[in-house]
């Protein structure tokens, strides 16, 4: 008994293998936990660490971060719609212009005037040019032509060089180009220069406007008549035959009221239409941004509608066009 050396009790083979288990060759591998664990109560919500796209790692969800679910990708490369087209205005983009639907071509109607066959009144809105008031530099006039539904019908742009505009001011000869929704020039209006330094009753001093539709093909003329008290014009056809007359008020510089130019028959009995310069308050008194409203019968000949339309611009340049004040240098 004394020669027997005590030894450690033998252990099962399985336990020995667990103690001599080789280390995991993978770097930074998590430890292998074999013990049981019990879930504890949920702790307070902690903000997600910076650097995770979407706020939390993929697979985690928090009520404070409802966007933490992985985004669902539609098959076939289809992306989900983010907004409804035509309902929301995208920033940094111009507001779309609503144009009047284009009518069908009509026989015996100059191309581009089909719009006027469906209208009995139009609005002529001149653009306000703040550059003129700040720099005293005369710029080309621009107008928007709209119907009662605020739909664009035409755009009228003056085409005059800088020297002519600033040298002759309101007496300048000009060319007005009328374009449609496709940008096509469908009408041209030309005003030649007329000297006003001699006798007013002389025919060479009377203002005149030629209307061409299509450009290069005259369809009529607007001719001024001398009158001591009021503005009087004749609307002529392409043969320079008088067809209608325009009779203005005794005072075209009315403050606080509209200025009405009546369109009458040659005998002055029948009232055909009117050209009304609307009073826009302070903008009409100080700014050069006029608003005209033109009325004519719906069944009037479309060429005569175009002539009344052209007379509006000659009236504007003669009576309501205000040149910016020129600052005299000392």
Do residues 198 and 214 make contact, with C-beta atoms less than 8 angstroms apart?
A: no
> SS3 string of 237-256?
ECCCCEEEEEECCCCCCCCC
Is pLDDT at 48 greater than 90 in this prediction? Answer: no
Do residues 54 and 68 make contact, with C-beta atoms less than 8 angstroms apart?
A: yes
Is pLDDT at 80 greater than 50 in this prediction? Answer: no
pLDDT value, residue 319: 87
User: What is the rounded average pLDDT of the residues 243-263?
Assistant: 84
Is pLDDT at 261 greater than 80 in this prediction? Answer: yes
User: Is pLDDT larger for residue 289 or for residue 320?
Assistant: 320
User: What is the rounded average pLDDT of the residues 146-157?
Assistant: 96
Question: Which of 55-69, 271-285, 299-313 has maximum average pLDDT?
Answer: 299-313
pLDDT value, residue 279: 83
Largest CA distance in the chain: 157
pTM: 0.68
User: What is the rounded average pLDDT of the residues 80-96?
Assistant: 53
Do residues 119 and 298 make contact, with C-beta atoms less than 8 angstroms apart?
A: yes
**Confidence category of residue 39, pLDDT binned at 50, 70, 90:** low
User: Is pLDDT larger for residue 229 or for residue 328?
Assistant: 229
Q: What stretch of H or E contains 175?
A: strand 174-179
What is the topology classification, in CATH, of domain 121-320? Answer: Tubby Protein; Chain A (3.20.90)
Query: Phi-psi region for residue 107, left (φ > 0), alpha (ψ -120 to 50) or beta?
Result: beta
Chain centre distance of CA 234: 35
Number of Cβ atoms within 10 Å of the Cβ of 122: 22
Name the residue ranges covered by the structural domains of the chain.
121-320
pLDDT value, residue 188: 98
* Cα 19 from Cα 200, distance rounded (Å): 123
**Confidence category of residue 139, pLDDT binned at 50, 70, 90:** confident
């Amino acid at each position: 008994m004394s020669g027997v050396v005590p030894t450690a009790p033998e252990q099962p083979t399985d336990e020995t293998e667990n103690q001599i288990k080789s280390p995991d060759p993978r770097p930074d591998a998590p430890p292998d936990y074999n013990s049981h664990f019990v879930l504890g109560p949920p702790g307070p919500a902690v903000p997600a660490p910076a650097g995770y796209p979407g706020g939390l790692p993929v697979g985690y969800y928090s009520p404070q971060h409802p966007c933490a679910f992985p985004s669902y990708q539609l098959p076939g490369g289809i992306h989900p719609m983010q907004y409804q087209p035509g309902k929301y205005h995208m920033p940094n983009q111009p507001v779309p212009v609503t144009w009047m639907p284009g009518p069908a071509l009509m026989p015996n109607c100059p191309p581009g005037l089909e719009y006027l066959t469906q209208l009995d009144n139009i609005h002529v809105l001149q653009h306000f040019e703040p550059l003129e008031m700040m720099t005293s530099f005369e710029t080309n006039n621009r107008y928007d032509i709209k119907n009662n539904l605020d739909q664009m019908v035409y755009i009228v742009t003056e085409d005059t060089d800088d020297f002519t505009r600033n040298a002759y001011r309101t007496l300048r000869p000009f060319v007005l180009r009328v374009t449609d929704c496709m940008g096509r020039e469908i009408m041209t209006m030309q005003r030649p220069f007329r000297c006003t330094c001699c006798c007013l009753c002389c025919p060479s001093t009377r203002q005149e406007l030629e209307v061409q539709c299509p450009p290069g093909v005259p369809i009529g003329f607007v001719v001024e008549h001398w009158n001591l008290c009021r503005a009087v014009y004749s609307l002529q056809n392409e043969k320079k035959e008088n067809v209608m007359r325009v009779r203005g008020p005794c005072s075209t510089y009315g403050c606080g009221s509209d200025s009405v130019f009546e369109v009458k028959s040659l005998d002055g009995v029948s009232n055909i239409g009117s050209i009304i310069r609307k009073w826009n308050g302070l903008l009409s008194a100080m700014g050069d941004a006029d608003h005209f409203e033109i009325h004519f019968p719906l069944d009037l000949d479309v060429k005569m509608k175009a002539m009344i339309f052209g007379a509006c611009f000659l009236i504007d340049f003669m009576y309501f066009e205000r040149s910016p004040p020129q600052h005299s240098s000392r």
